[in-house]
């Protein structure tokens, strides 16, 4: 899909970034991404993290909120007004709820505070969250990316070894077009797309039980087929 990057382009894109590394104690890093906002990406990431914990039992599961400007993990994981502590190495200790180890920039600023940072500060925050969080041994660390194909998603893919990405969409054509762009970006940075999740697939009437595909149907399944990955609802 799309045009592969040349070696020169890869070098230019990674200029100034630390060498890609494996996060200590983390077996698998999985990205949860979407081409546009409002498709339920963070909800999917949270539910996926909790479901993995329930299925894997004693295995560690982590969730890292990479949305610097719109962090939602503190609310979704019920971690209000709790700031992460630091260990002796000055690394942040993730908070735990529902058995999931969590970290977010939203845990370090007031809930109603606007994060107004320029690009270099955002990239510094991304590196701090990724490389200076003291994760315990984890089977899987889910990274809830901001929507789109901007600097954060690109930097994450260039900073750490990633096992794959889950793309979240809704059935509308405009959302599906953005998923294709997201898949193309993953392809260019060498990240495997593990599958596509279609959110908001249907509405079920609470009175009569009638279901209606108010946003259309089948779109994300077609994209998943194009990408050669599984489809989930």
Query: How many whole angstroms separate alpha carbon 110 and alpha carbon 231?
Result: 37
- Looking only at the bridges linking them, the beta strands covering 231-232 and 193-198 are parallel
* The two structure tokens encoding residue 167: 């793309």
List, for residues 68-81, the tens digit of each pLDDT value: 888 899 999 999 88
List, for residues 161-192, the tens digit of each pLDDT value: 999 999 998 887 777 788 888 888 888 888 99
Q: For residue 1, what pLDDT is reported? A: 47
What domains lie within the chain, and their CATH numbers? 22-232 (3.40.50.300)
Indicate yes or no: pTM above 0.85.
Answer: no
* The two structure tokens encoding residue 80: 């209000």
Q: Is 55 helix (H, G, I), strand (E, B) or coil?
A: helix
Chain mean pLDDT for the chain: 84
Query: How many whole angstroms separate alpha carbon 118 and alpha carbon 98?
Result: 34
> What secondary structure does DSSP assign to 109-151, as a single string?
S-TT------HHHHHHHHHHHHHSB---SEEEEEEEPPSSSSH
Q: What are phi and psi of 196, to 5 degrees?
A: -120, 135
Q: For residue 120, what pLDDT is reported? A: 78
* The two structure tokens encoding residue 221: 């399944």
Distance of CA 193 to the CA centre of its chain: 13
List, for residues 107-164, the tens digit of each pLDDT value: 987 667 666 667 778 888 888 899 999 999 999 999 999 988 778 888 888 889 999 9
Q: For residue 138, what pLDDT is reported? A: 97
Beta strands in the chain (DSSP E): 26-33, 61-65, 95-97, 100-104, 138-144, 164-169, 193-198, 203-204, 211-212, 231-232
Query: How many whole angstroms separate alpha carbon 209 and alpha carbon 223?
Result: 29
């Amino acid at each position: 899909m799309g045009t592969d990057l040349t070696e020169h382009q890869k070098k230019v894109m990674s200029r100034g970034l630390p060498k890609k590394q494996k996060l200590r104690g983390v077996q698998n890093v999985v990205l949860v991404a979407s081409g546009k906002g409002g498709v339920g990406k963070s909800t999917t990431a949270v539910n996926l993290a909790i479901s993995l914990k329930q299925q894997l039992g004693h295995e560690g599961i982590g969730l890292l909120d990479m949305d610097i400007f719109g962090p939602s993990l503190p609310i979704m994981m019920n971690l209000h007004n709790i700031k992460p502590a630091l260990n002796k190495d000055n690394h942040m200790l993730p908070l735990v709820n529902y058995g999931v180890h969590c970290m977010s920039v939203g845990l370090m600023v007031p809930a109603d505070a606007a994060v107004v940072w320029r690009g270099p500060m955002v990239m510094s925050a991304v590196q701090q969250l990724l490389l200076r969080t003291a994760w315990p041994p984890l089977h899987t660390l889910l990274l809830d990316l901001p929507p789109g194909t901007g600097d954060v998603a690109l930097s994450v893919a260039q900073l750490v070894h990633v096992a794959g990405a889950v793309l979240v969409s809704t059935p509308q054509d405009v959302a599906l077009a953005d998923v294709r762009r997201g898949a193309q970006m993953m392809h260019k940075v060498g990240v495997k797309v593990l599958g596509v999740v279609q959110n908001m697939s249907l509405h079920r009437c609470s009175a009569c039980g009638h279901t209606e595909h108010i946003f259309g149907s089948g779109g994300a399944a077609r994209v998943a087929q194009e990408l050669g990955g599984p489809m989930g609802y």
